[in-house]
Amino acid sequence: MADINVTTLDGDRFRVTVSETGSSTTHEVTASPADVDRLGLGTSPEHLVAASFRFLLDREPKESILRSFELGVIARYFPEYPDRIADYL
């Protein structure tokens, strides 16, 4: 299981480090207030970002996750994301 560390950079930008089996990747994610309201079900932005990475890691290796993206982009690649993210919160 991967270790997911979310650090707030400023406002709606976060640095996410995913570590597993002796290697790690770093990503910069923007979670707009609108995305947090729509997808987060009242949770914190940090918790939503971490849950989103758990969702992604169930579908692809950490090395395949974009290095920089806006949270809403996930649904372009995985249309089920808005409906399934609640399962990860």
Q: Mean pLDDT per segment of 10 residues, for the chain of length 89 residues? A: 93 95 95 93 94 97 96 96 96
Q: Does this model's pTM top 0.85?
A: yes
Question: What are residue 17's DSSP bridge partners?
Answer: 5, 26
57-77 pLDDT per residue, tens: 999 999 999 999 999 999 999
Domain ranges of the chain: 3-88
User: To the nearest whole percent, how much of the chain has pLDDT over 70?
Assistant: 100
User: CA torsion, points 63, 65, 67, 69, in degrees to nearest 10?
Assistant: 180
Closest C-alpha to 49, from 83, 12, 10: 12
